[in-house]
Amino acid sequence: MAKIGRRPAGPLWLSGIAAGLALFLAAIPLALVINRISAALPGQQEKAIIAIGVIFVLVLATPLAVYLLAARRSADPARIGLIVLATTGVLLVASYLYQVSFWVFYPGDFLIWSETEFVSDILKFRIGYPLYTDQLNNESFIYPPGAPLATYFISTILGNATSITFFRVVQLGYTLGAAAFAFLSFRTLMQLRYKDEDSPPSMPLSFLWLPLLFLVASNSLTNPFAHNLHNDAFGQLLAAAGYFVLVRYAATRDWRLLVFMALIPAAGFMVKQIVAIWAPLFVIYLGLFDRPRSIPRTLAVAIGGFGGIALAVGVGLLIWGGDFQYWIFQAAGNHPVSPVRSFQHVLDTWPYWSVGLIGGFILLRGRFSAQVFGLWAIWLVLFLGEAYTSGIGWMLNHLGPGSLIAGIWLAAGLTRLWNDEMPAMLGKLAPQRWLGYGIALAVVLLLLNGLGMFHLPIRPVSDDSIRYFNEVEAEFRGLPVDRVLLDSGSWYYLDNNTVMKDRVTSIGDRGYGQTGDFSGIIQRLEGKHYDKIMVRNLHLPKFWYESDTWAEPAGIKDAMLANYDEVKVIKGVEDIDRYLLGDVSVLVPKP
């Protein structure tokens, strides 16, 4: 029997990606159907899930029925498996979009710790206020400004310059862009692997990988902040673009791609410091795996990449002076790395290590290629670097870009396995083929869940979250905006063009790293500068203004309680355990 999908590969932008985008877009009306069903059954989550499940079964059955009616006795279990995978991808994207929509369209920018400072950077840029100021102000962030500024430019062009919700939509756009670059990397990698053989598998497998790679780029294990106002989404987009440039160069050796290799590290640094790792990664590939090896090209990329980073740092120092150095290097770099925690994060992310390693092995088996091996090695070095730096904290989002690239190797390995290895292993006996592909399909579907790509189509937060937002916002009314301190959340300040000092993210980052001078906020508290203060979880040990995880107390909480009375508590959002959706203490100056 002829191998599946062997046909001449068309241009990268035309072959497969259009069908993949069509699959992704097909998920949007399905997400709206899920929303309609859930809205029709309020408070009846189990019934809603059953009804949605029935719709999903019908959607899954429809393309299968069409294929079986058309193919009849010649129906191929391999093609059926691909149809199921493609349809499953659509259903999973629909579930994700439905679930995440409640967070994307939430009006407050306090869903995670980074959102407040992300919006503050946009606010500062809008009104011409310095992005980095003296640490005594507690109003700057430890990340470079590339992601918020890019988000602001895009939102402004599209007519939503101050929309918190649209800012989050842009983050999903970055995530889809990262998935598109990952898809193109997969297509190019297959062309490189098969360059001396027949054309690589094209439509039957490749068209389903765009929505699946989007799910990898937004997986709940290592990419949980893809929809939030955080530097992760744009950083992952640049990392995916960098890997595509590298894969494309390996396949073509087009010298023009060296320009992108020189530019991406500096651009990455201005988004998130760790993305600058692409400067040494590009140099390592060119120095060890490029064939034929070119010292001038390696030196050019090294000079361009590291020089670009130095230039970016120089521009930052020129504009913001020592304050830029303090926030970007001292405050951000003084978080100690725990090797034990880094190792634990490797264990926690074992599914992505597994699919990346196994996918590379499958692709390399049978015919060794220095270029393909080099691309695999670069992913491994990147992932190891991300795992190490993740030891500064307890979350796994540092490993997000490496996980997406592992997804590329999963796509490539599974393509070769499905198209080349399994037909040879299973032979021509129909029962054996049906059983083999059936088991393989079941394993792949279970693997998708292990990779954090399954999202139950349930509402993650109730309408009580809107009550919470409205009650917090109401506390601003009747008072000067700059005299009301809200620990986290900048939407009200954005609407009123007011840059606020003493934000909790700015303080918490430095308190944990023991790099902060907090005398400024203590003086303002003792002088009763604020007419009202709103802080979350005032009486918990992990109060962010002065957490029990800090090596030494800073005196902020004592100064707050000594000079302000707690007059009210806004109850946290029901049925959800998130710090920034917890109880809000309202404080006013003592008489």
What pLDDT is attached to residue 584?
97
| Distance between start and end Cα atoms, the chain | 88
Q: Which of 173, 147, 166 is nearest to 109 (CA)?
A: 166
pLDDT at 6 over 70: no
Mean pLDDT of 520-538: 96
Once rounded to an integer, what is the mean pLDDT over residues 70-74? 87
Cβ atoms of 271 and 146 within 8 Å: the answer is yes
Residue ranges per structural domain of the chain: 17-104+142-450, 461-589
Distances (CA, A) of 315 to 120, 121, 518: 21, 17, 28
Exposure letters 349-360 (e unless 16+ CB within 10 A, then b): bebbbebbbbbb
Q: List pLDDT tens digits, range 250-303.
A: 999 999 999 999 999 999 999 999 999 999 999 999 999 999 999 999 999 999
Residue (of 265, 114, 125, 241) closest to 184 by Cα position: 241
Place of tokens 């802080």: 535
Crossing angle (nearest 10°) for helices 115-127 and 146-157: 60
**Average pLDDT, stretch 108-133?**
97
Quickly list DSSP for 34-46: HHHHHHHSTT-HH
How many residues appear in the chain? Answer: 591
Strand-pairing partners, residue 535, are 585
Q: How do residues 473-513 score in pLDDT, each as one tens digit? A: 999 999 999 999 999 999 999 999 999 999 999 998 888 77
Residue-wise pLDDT for 8-34, tens only, equals: 344 555 667 888 899 999 999 999 999
What would the DSSP string read from start to end of 190-246?
Answer: HHHHTTTSSPPB-HHHHHHHHHHHHHHHT-TTT-TTTTSSSTHHHHHHHHHHHHHHH
Confirm if 357 and 542 have CB atoms less than 8 A apart: no
- Could you tell me the strand order of the sheet in which 484-486 lies? 484-486, 532-536, 584-589, 564-570
